[in-house]
Chain A
Amino acid sequence: MEITPGTAYGFFTDTSVCIGCKACEVACKSWNLLEGNPPAFGDGYDNTGRLDAQNWRAVQFHDNVPDNPAVTGQGKAWLMMSDVCKHCQHASCMEVCPTNAIIRTEFDSVFIQPDVCNGCRNCISACPYGVIEQDEHSRVAQKCTLCYDRLQGGMEPACAKACPTQSIQFGPLDELRERASRRLDTLHAQGVPQAQLYGHDDSVYGGLNAFFLLMDEPEKYRLPDAANAVLPSRHNKRGYLTTLATAALAVLGGLIALRRRRARDDDS
């Protein structure tokens, strides 16, 4: 695939064919020189936990195996999803970043410039997907770069390259959206009505450059639904108006206090 600056690229992650092998995590860590995770054994197979400064890909495991073994899972017994930064068109992190360290690249991805970021962590409080974390070594915010350096070299991102089931597909967004639409039609025709796309259109943050085919409701994968996918700036107007109204009342009260007082200081 020829990768051309000026074209919008992204990921289409088809969770219906994810087998939870974590090859994407390993490839990501290997290419981006991210620390490995120490062995951890919890209640399930998910020993990565969530995306953070050192995990730019994280495979979620959701155990829905029914108690009654006679019932089929209908494609939902195990939900697995390789989570990643969504590279939102209307990115909450970009919106609040005071240093302009977070930029949109020539490949339409969202990139944190490590030498510009000063570690204020405003982006962390804004990202609705919990993608960004401050790295304990570099002390700046870190997340998936969509392998910006690989794209500049004409190579696809490491995770998509390594995925053995084509669950993670990389390419121009227009192509990916067509492919996702066809895949959704196929699943629906096969009797999997719960399959749905997330972030393929502008209903969520103006569209996600990394969008998903899900096998359950978005919130099961820790993704806010369209009603809850809101930008931080929604509170700017009401927040400042409340402050202004309080300021007006405070000044008014202060003026009344000055005008109507008849202080009798019996302090002495």
Chain B
Amino acid sequence: MTLDDAQHFVRDPDWTWYILGYFFFAGLTGGSYLLASMLRLFGKPEDEPAARIGYYVSFVALLPCPVLLTLDLGQPLRFWHMLVNTTPGNLGLNFKYWSPMSVGAWALTIFGAFATWSFVEAWTLDRERRFFPRLGKLVSFAGAPLGLFVAGYTGVLLSVSNQPVWSDTWTLGGLFLASGLSGSAALMGWLVRFRREASPSVGALALGERWFQILELALIVAFVVTLFPTGALERAFGPPWFALWAAALIGLFSGLLSGSTRASISPDGTVAVRAVHAASTLPTTLVLAGIIALRAAIIFSAQ
């Protein structure tokens, strides 16, 4: 450490595998919900089958989230203390807008209700039954910002600490959000292959995935730039963590540079996408593995 480096004398919180798992699934559940809602709200009627895939993904990815968070607690049976203040003489609800963990606990709880509603709705509609037809788009509209928050706040939570690496940058919220969205788009694009009527949405998902990956790449660059003056670069990228960063970049570039999502701009300005990506399992696997590796590199290198 040089005199100009940021000084850190903090102890490690031992946030390890459960938290890594939660951060991964939080990115997927929130990202998938947003994409599904965009397809439903701003897409064409033929995008509805793909939107329902998104709601299924969101719900399935949501299920492990509270389990992982609870298992990570020292006292798992007190998980509800996140929401309720049990201090004698001061009983009531806990909400600290300046503590991302407090805000996140509420956001996950409320988002869970939206994701569950949308899942049940998609399930019901797929069986050609009516399910509160006037509420569907309203729930999607209200739940989408919550999905964005759940996908991204985990990065802010890390930054709002005094840990080296995490607190040396302010880019983690955006970075986790962008990577969560790219993973969600990749996963939804892959799942579309199992539902033919959802194929009209493949192009939009592939284009979206590429855009989210460009955002993710830009935020990785910003992450490096912000760490540079604090002297934390070696800690974040040195051995053995460079292997995880390599995996993260392989996942990123497998989507960006591979032939899986070939786009071309036609003279009238529209974009044509040859979405062979939807049929390819390997790039999707690499993208998802890269998302885990990115989070693992950031979580573990700081502790």
Which residues of A pack against B, CB within 8 Å?
A: 50, 52, 92, 95-101, 103, 113, 115-122, 124-134, 138-141, 219, 222-225, 228, 230, 232-233, 235-236, 238-240, 242-243, 245-247, 249-251, 253-258, 260-268
Contacting residue for B38 out of A52, A118, A131, A251, CB 8 A: A251
Closest residue of A by beta carbon distance from B97: A236
Shortest CB-to-CB span from B268 to chain A, Å, is: 9
Take A98-B99, A125-B163 as given contacts and tell me if A261 and B13 are in contact as well, using a CB distance cutoff of 8 Å.
no
Q: Can you name the residue of chain B whose Cβ is closest to the Cβ of A222?
A: B9
| Given A121-B74, A243-B152, A263-B200, CB of A133 within 8 Å of CB of B11 | yes
Q: Are A128 and B203 in contact (CB under 8 A)?
A: no
Asked if B202 and A253 make an inter-chain contact with CB atoms under 8 angstroms apart, the answer reads no
Given A122-B99, A243-B156, A243-B173, is A101 in contact with B81 using a C-beta cutoff of 8 Å? yes
Query: Quick check: A130 and B9 within 8 Å, CB to CB?
Result: yes
* The 5 nearest A-B residue pairs measured at CB: A119-B74, A263-B203, A139-B74, A243-B173, A246-B174
A246 to chain B, nearest CB (A): 4
In angstroms, Cα B163 to Cα A255, docked, is 37
Name the contact of B276 in the complex, choosing from A249, A260, A266 (C-beta under 8 A).
Answer: A266
Residue of A nearest to B163 (CB): A125
Given contacts A119-B73, A239-B160, 16 further A-B contacts (CB under 8 A): A99-B85, A118-B81, A122-B13, A125-B161, A126-B10, A139-B75, A228-B6, A233-B160, A236-B156, A246-B215, A250-B178, A251-B38, A253-B211, A258-B39, A260-B271, A266-B275
Q: Which of B178-234 contact A (CB under 8 A)?
A: 178, 181, 193, 199-205, 207-208, 211-212, 215, 219
Check A127 against B203 for contact (C-beta < 8 Å): no
Residues of A within 8 A of B174 (CB): 242-243, 245-246
A118 touches B173 (CB 8 A): no
Is A232 a contact of B211 with CB atoms below 8 Å? no
A261 touches B99 (CB 8 A): no
Task: Report if B98 contacts A (CB, 8 A).
Answer: yes
- B residues near A224, Cβ cutoff 8 Å: 7-9
CA A211 to CA B38, docked complex, whole Å: 55
Shortest distance from the beta carbon of A91 to any chain B beta carbon, whole Å: 12
Find out whether the CB atom of A263 lies under 8 angstroms from the CB atom of B211.
no
Report the minimum CB–CB distance from B4 to chain A (whole Å): 10
CB pair A120–B73 under 8 Å, yes or no, is yes
Interfacial chain A residues near B235, Cβ < 8 Å: none
Docked complex: B117-146 residues within 8 A CB-CB of A: none
How many B residues touch the partner, as a band?
35 or more
Please indicate the chain B residues that have their CB under 8 angstroms from the CB of A128 in the complex. 8-10, 162
In the assembled complex, how far is the CB of residue A132 from the closest CB belonging to chain B, in whole angstroms? 7
Contacts of A139 in B (CB 8 A): 74-75
Decide: B38 and A255 in contact? CB cutoff 8 A: yes
Known: A96-B161, A118-B75, A124-B12. A265 touches B271 (CB 8 A): no
Closest B residue to A138 by beta carbon equals: B74
Asked if B181 and A250 make an inter-chain contact with CB atoms under 8 angstroms apart, the answer reads yes
B98 near A261 with CB under 8 A, answer: no
The winner among A50, A128, A219, A265 for most chain B CB atoms within 10 A is A265
* Distance in angstroms between the alpha carbons of A222 and B162 in the assembled complex: 14
If A125-B13, A263-B200, A267-B193 touch, does A239 touch B211 (CB 8 Å cutoff)? no
Contact B170 A242 (CB under 8 A): yes
Looking at the assembled complex, report how far the CB atom of A101 sits from the nearest CB atom of chain B, in whole angstroms. 7
